[in-house]
Amino acid sequence: MTGPGDGGAWVGRRALVLGASGFIGRWTAALLAAEGADLVLAGRDADAVRAALEPFADRAPAGAPPEIRAVDLARPGAAEELVAEVRPAIVFNLVGYGVDPCERDEARYERLNHGLVHELVYAIRDARDRGEDAWTGQHLIHAGSALEFGGVSGDLSDPWHCRPTTSYGRTKLRGSEEVVGAVQRNDLRGVSVRLFTVFGPGEHAGRLLPALLAARRADGDLELTAGTQLRDFTYVEDAARGLLRLGAMEHVVAESALNLATGKLTPVREFAETAGHLLGIAPERLKFGALETRPEEMSHDPVSTARLAELTGWVPDTSIADGVRRTLEFPAR
């Protein structure tokens, strides 16, 4: 799967992926490898990075394997040291703290969602190549979050009309503000990419699709919320492909933040029923309304993807049913 703005752009280009063992990080790394990038992958645990990439082994082209670095990015100065050593053409920052319900340390919210980005933009500014053959795409693609918008309604077309209601959303927004500040200072070219409800192989346990996959192999009922909340469900390979497309853009994105989503809202209940049918889960086992809906759930119109389409000529289009099927077909290692 290639398209304008990505295929061919990455051959031999040094790309650093932070958070490479994570859900979206592993997909981004795998797609960059398939495109022929000169890859450096960073994570807290080198073995975890290797394990995360094993299911993609059959897709990887022949050639030098990625360089894997074990780095504790929670340590101030670690990102600066890494960028200075690697001197990448582009950094994909897929690090985030607070997605997992057990991640609730306020100091780590600040460090990993904000402080790390602050450190990165200055490190990239100082290390980037300014020669005649220098990389002409973006220098930093930072994974932002829909929760940066918080209580804002409408189509979310204004990337800086935000009212976050959680520590995660507030610190992610501060990270995005570091990116736009660097772009405005002309220190680098970069984009904070707001991701919405990404699903697919490699997703964290406890989220909706992994819970449904687990229910398929177990007896008993699966307790769920009422499922009336609306979400923009984006298949993970589409999300990662979008990051590559945006990374390959050669011009400055003035607003330095945009939405990566399908532009279609689907009730959570419809997602669960569609997945449940494909997984062979009897409908009566899905107990909607047994759990309370989380207070941070957002309420907004279909997400505006006009700017994404304008910049890349593309919008994610994998349906929920196709995404679930591809998840079932994905090799388990």
Q: Which residues neighbour 34 within 8 Å (Cβ) at sequence distance 6 or greater? A: 59, 60, 61
| pLDDT score recorded for residue 81 | 98
Tell me the average pLDDT across 242-267.
Answer: 97
Ramachandran assignment for 203, one of left (phi > 0), alpha (psi -120 to 50 degrees), beta (any other): beta
* Structural domain count, the chain: 1
Quick check: is 105 in a domain? Answer: yes
Mean pLDDT of 251-269: 97
Residue 223 falls within a domain, yes or no? no
Average pLDDT, the chain: 94
* CA-closest candidate to residue 207, choices 65, 7, 23: 23
DSSP-assigned letters across all residues of 216-280 = HTS-S-EEE-----EE-EEEHHHHHHHHHHHHT--S--TT-EEEES-S--EEHHHHHHHHHHHHT
Please give the residue range of the domain that contains residue 19: 14-197+233-261+301-318
Q: Is residue 282 part of a domain?
A: no
* Domain presence at residue 131: yes
- Cα R_g (the chain), whole angstroms: 19
Tell me the percentage of the chain whose pLDDT exceeds 90: 88
Q: How far apart are CA 44 and CA 21, in angstroms?
A: 8
In a domain, 205, yes or no: no
Q: What is the dihedral of CA 119, 163, 303, 268, to 10 degrees?
A: 100
Average pLDDT (284-307) is 95
The model's pLDDT over 136-193, given as tens digits with 9 standing for 90+, comes to 999 999 999 999 999 999 999 999 999 999 999 999 999 999 999 999 999 999 999 9
Tokens of 18: 């932070």
- 2 pLDDT band, cuts 50/70/90, is very low
The neighbouring-strand residues paired with 144 are: 194
Local structure of 118: helix, strand or coil: helix
Q: Give the pLDDT confidence score for residue 5 in this predicted structure.
A: 44
| % residues pLDDT > 70 (the chain) | 97
DSSP letters for 290-314: SSPPPTT----SSPP-HHHHHHHS-
- Asked if residue 213 belongs to a domain, the reply is no
Q: Is residue 312 part of a domain?
A: yes
Residue given tokens 């602050």 in the structure block: 118
What are the beta bridge partners of residue 158?
A: none
Exposed (0-12), middle (13-18) or buried (19+): which is 74, by Cβ within 10 Å? middle
What distance in Å separates the CA atoms of residue 256 and residue 141, rounded to the nearest whole number? 10
Structure tokens at 2: 């290639």
Query: With contact defined as beta carbons under 8 Å apart, do 200 and 326 qualify?
Result: yes
Question: How confident is the model over 85-144, as pLDDT tens digits?
Answer: 999 999 999 999 998 888 999 999 999 999 999 999 999 999 998 888 899 999 999 999
pLDDT at 274 > cutoff 50: yes
Query: Rounded to an integer, what distance in angstroms lies between the CA atom of residue 34 and that of residue 32?
Result: 5
Asked if the model's pLDDT at residue 57 lies above 90, the reply is no
Tell me the two tokens of residue 92. Answer: 């994909």
**Dist. CA 127–CA 88, nearest whole Å:** 8
Instruction: Give, in order, the Cα–Cα distances in Å from 232 to each of 117, 249, 267, 304, 332.
Output: 26, 24, 9, 11, 26
CATH number reported for the structural domain that contains residue 54 in this entry: 3.40.50.720
**Residue-level pLDDT at 63:** 67
Distances from the Cα of 262 to the Cα of 89, 249, 306, 309, angstroms: 29, 20, 10, 10
Residue 225 lies in a domain: no
pLDDT at 275: 98
